[in-house]
């Protein structure tokens, strides 16, 4: 599958590792074309199962079937608006945790989420899915914590879109957990905030992961 990752930072890198490990074709886009190409070169060196990576500018990129907004809150909305109808028919993954300026709460208003705000600004034909916001970049690169595959919690209103994202997750060696409709992104973003604050309070180094334990 062809996937476009917008944002060549730490999370773009982590998600990119899982996608090329699963044999998918990734295009990296970033405001710094040098950063995008540097990451693309790194991903090419670790790609498996025929996976590939390249870089492109936002203006020139031919968007894949899935577009990952590996961007901070606010920037994700700006880019989604800029892309406009180019996102029509695409599965759009929002990974943002909308942290406030002091990192002790969420910047979104009660009763909404970053993902729901993205859904309001993209073209009506785009299918927004929340995913990867509860996983940390380093654990995504490794694909596991202590040998246990990461859980990736997924929320969305379009069942086919969620299945597409779930397949990408499982192809990369991770476990997809469907948590329900897009409004569940509110709880996922709260869980993301809690995970971040725990790293700081307990000096965990962003090396942990949330796991749904099954009997």
Pick the CATH number of 2-202 from 3.20.20.70, 1.10.3720.10, 3.40.50.720, 3.20.20.80: 3.40.50.720
What is the pLDDT at residue 125? 94
- How would you class 157 by CB atoms within 10 Å of its CB: exposed for 0-12, middle for 13-18, buried for 19 or more? middle
Q: Three-state SS string across 116-163, please?
A: HHHHHHCCCCCEEEECCCCCCHHHHHHCEECCEECEEEEEECCHHHHH
* Chain length of the chain: 215
Q: How far apart are CA 39 and CA 88, in angstroms?
A: 27
State pLDDT tens for residues 24-40: 999 999 999 999 999 99
* H or E segment to which residue 198 belongs: helix 185-202
State pLDDT tens for residues 148-197: 999 999 999 999 999 999 999 999 999 999 999 999 999 999 999 999 99
State pLDDT tens for residues 166-175: 999 999 999 9
Q: Is the pTM of this model over 0.95?
A: yes
State pLDDT tens for residues 33-68: 999 999 999 999 999 999 999 999 998 889 999 999
């Amino acid at each position: 599958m062809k996937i476009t990752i917008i944002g060549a930072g730490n999370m773009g890198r982590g998600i990119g590792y899982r996608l090329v490990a699963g044999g998918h074709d990734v295009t990296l886009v970033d405001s710094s074309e040098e950063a995008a190409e540097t990451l693309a070169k790194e991903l090419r060196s670790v790609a498996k199962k025929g996976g590939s990576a390249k870089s492109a500018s936002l203006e020139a990129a031919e968007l894949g079937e899935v577009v990952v907004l590996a961007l901070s809150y606010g920037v994700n909305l700006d880019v989604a608006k800029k892309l406009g109808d180019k996102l029509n028919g695409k599965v759009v993954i929002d990974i943002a945790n909308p942290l406030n300026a002091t990192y002790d709460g969420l910047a979104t208003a009660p009763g909404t989420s970053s993902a729901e705000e993205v859904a309001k600004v993209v073209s009506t034909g785009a299918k927004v899915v929340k995913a990867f916001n509860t996983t940390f970049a380093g654990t995504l690169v490794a694909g596991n914590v202590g040998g246990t595959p990461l859980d990736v919690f997924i929320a969305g209103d379009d069942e086919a879109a969620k299945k597409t994202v779930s397949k990408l997750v499982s192809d990369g060696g991770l476990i997809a957990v469907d948590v329900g409709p897009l409004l569940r992104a509110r709880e996922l973003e709260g869980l993301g905030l809690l995970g971040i604050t725990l790293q700081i309070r307990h000096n965990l180094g962003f090396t942990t992961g949330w796991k749904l334990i099954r009997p």
